């Protein structure tokens, strides 16, 4: 071998060695990127699990707080009813007290009448006995002297009648006084019995009032305990809310890292593929067009002339199902496909095709996790089958902003993005805009 040939061979060998080194570096970069994105995804999953746990605990606390508030309201209502009962009972006690006082006055009046009647009886009795004593002291002479003083037989009869009338009058008056005394005593006894009955009612009302006040005191204790428990749970709820907000911020930051890692991964993969093509002599074979006959993803992420942006990273996807009539791969029904399916690896970031306002960010059995955006110019767009979305309804997004990640949720057979564009409420072929 000549010196020139050896020199050329050395150069070729150096180039091949350099190519191998570059290829190795690209492969290593791809592996590191893949490992990095996988690690970040694991961190995101762990953070989301923590967020879900805290959200679940927060929901339980919210239910407990609501239950405590309901119990507190019930107890407050019960306490108000007890307060009203206590007030009414006190009014009845006051009425009974006034009635008892009236009975006491009536009893006192009857006692005074009874005392007066007894005094009259005593006075009459004393006069009667005085006459008896006088007659006993004077003997029958006095009695007979009255009779003997009669001037005639007629006068005698008159004097006998007079003596009888006096004795009868005394007896009659004594009987009247005794009857009056009995009546007064009976009335006083009746009043005393009525007073006793009213005092029993008053005692029962007082006992009832004491029971009501005890219930009110218990209600106050329970209300204060519930308010204290609710305040403690509310504080814990606020702490959970702060923790969840912090976790959501961390998740958002990690998702941004994930997006960057995926982009680095895709760049490394593209570099490795280019190097492999170079190592193979630069022949592209059949791999020069990854989009196939359906016209795959855009080679760049610059907005198209229509102003729409390809919703996935450049070179990351291909059209797996075009816009138009088709046989559904899951149901087998022949129907119109109102969008385009862009097959891409799970976790590939999804971009807003144009700026606008998120109108829907939810889940259903067809689109799985999906997002719709109103672009404000008659156009709107739909992004379906996401593994998750990172925007919320009412949020304003800018063109190219990450709104979610490719998945296979809902009625799906594999990782892809179902992408639909609407104009004035009707679907149009997205491939004419991106």
What predicted TM-score, i.e. pTM, was given to this entire model? 0.41
Are residues 244 and 348 both part of a single domain?
A: no
* Domain CATH code at residue 332: 2.70.70.10
Is there a single domain that holds both residue 205 and residue 156? Answer: yes
Q: Which pLDDT tens digit goes with each residue over 118-142?
A: 777 777 777 766 665 655 555 444 4
- The domain total for the chain is 2
Same domain, 48 and 139: yes
Q: Are residues 3 and 101 in the same domain?
A: yes
238, 254, 288 — which closes off a domain? Answer: 288
Verify that 281 and 296 share a domain, yes or no. no
Q: What is the pLDDT of residue 107?
A: 78
Report residue 23's pLDDT band, with 50, 70 and 90 as the boundaries: very low
CATH number, domain with residue 11:
1.10.287.950
What is the C-alpha end-to-end distance of the chain, expressed in Å?
58
pLDDT at 151: 63
Q: Predicted confidence band at 48 (pLDDT cuts at 50, 70, 90)?
A: confident
85 and 179 assigned to the same domain: yes
The answer to whether residue 404 scores a pLDDT higher than 80 is yes
User: Range with the lowest mean pLDDT among 164-173, 334-343, 355-364?
Assistant: 164-173
Looking at residue 428, what is its pLDDT? 92
- Do 377 and 239 fall into the same domain? no
- Spatial distance between the Cα atoms of 431 and 434, rounded to a whole number of angstroms: 5
Residue at which a domain ends, from 288, 309, 339: 288
Note whether 345 and 233 are same-domain residues. no
Together in a domain, 119 and 2:
yes
Same domain? For 94 and 162 the reply is: yes
* Residues 19, 109 within the same domain: yes
Name the domain boundary from 258, 288, 318. 288
Give the model confidence (pLDDT) of 215-267 as tens digits. 888 888 888 888 888 888 888 888 888 888 888 888 878 877 877 777 777 67
Least confident among 15-29, 178-192, 246-260? 15-29
- Domain containing 66 equals 1-288
- Domain co-membership, 86 together with 138: yes
Q: Give the model's pLDDT for residue 6.
A: 53
């Amino acid at each position: 071998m000549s010196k020139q040939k050896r020199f050329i061979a050395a150069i070729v060998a150096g180039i091949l060695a350099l190519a191998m080194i570059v290829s190795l570096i690209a492969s290593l970069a791809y592996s590191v990127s893949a490992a990095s994105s996988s690690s970040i995804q694991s961190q995101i999953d762990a953070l989301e699990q923590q967020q879900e746990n805290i959200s679940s605990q927060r929901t339980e606390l919210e239910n407990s707080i609501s239950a405590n508030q309901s119990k507190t309201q019930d107890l407050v209502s019960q306490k108000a009813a007890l307060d009203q009962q206590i007030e009414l009972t006190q009014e009845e006690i006051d009425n009974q007290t006034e009635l008892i006082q009236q009975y006491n006055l009536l009893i006192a009046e009857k006692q005074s009448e009874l005392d007066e009647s007894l005094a009259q009886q005593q006075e009459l009795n004393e006069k009667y006995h005085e006459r008896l004593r006088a007659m006993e002291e004077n003997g029958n002479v006095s009695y007979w002297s009255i009779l003997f003083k009669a001037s005639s037989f007629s006068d005698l009869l008159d004097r006998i009648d007079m003596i009888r009338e006096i004795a009868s009058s005394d007896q009659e008056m004594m009987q009247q006084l005794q009857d009056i005394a009995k009546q007064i005593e009976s009335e006083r006894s009746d009043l005393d019995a009525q007073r006793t009955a009213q005092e029993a009612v008053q005692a029962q009302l007082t006992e009832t009032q004491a029971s009501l006040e005890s219930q009110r005191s218990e209600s106050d204790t329970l209300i204060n305990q519930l308010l204290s428990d609710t305040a403690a749970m509310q504080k814990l709820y606020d702490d959970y809310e702060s923790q969840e907000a912090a976790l959501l911020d961390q998740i958002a930051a990690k998702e941004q890292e994930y997006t960057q890692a995926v982009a680095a991964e895709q760049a490394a993969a593209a570099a490795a593929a280019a190097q492999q093509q170079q190592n193979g002599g630069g022949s592209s074979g059949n791999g020069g067009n990854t989009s196939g006959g359906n016209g795959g993803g855009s080679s760049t992420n610059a907005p198209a002339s229509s102003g729409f942006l390809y919703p996935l990273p450049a070179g990351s996807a291909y059209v797996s199902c075009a816009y138009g009539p088709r046989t559904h791969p899951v149901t087998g029904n022949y129907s119109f496909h109102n969008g385009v399916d862009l097959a891409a690896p799970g976790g590939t970031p999804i971009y807003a095709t144009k700026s606008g306002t998120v109108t829907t960010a939810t889940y259903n059995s067809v689109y799985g996790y999906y997002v719709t955006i109103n672009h404000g110019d008659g156009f709107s767009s739909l992004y379906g089958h996401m593994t998750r979305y990172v925007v919320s309804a009412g949020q304003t997004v800018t063109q190219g902003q990450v709104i979610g990640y490719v998945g296979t949720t809902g009625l799906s057979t594999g990782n892809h993005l179902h992408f639909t564009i609407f104009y004035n409420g009707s679907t149009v072929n997205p491939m004419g805009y991106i």
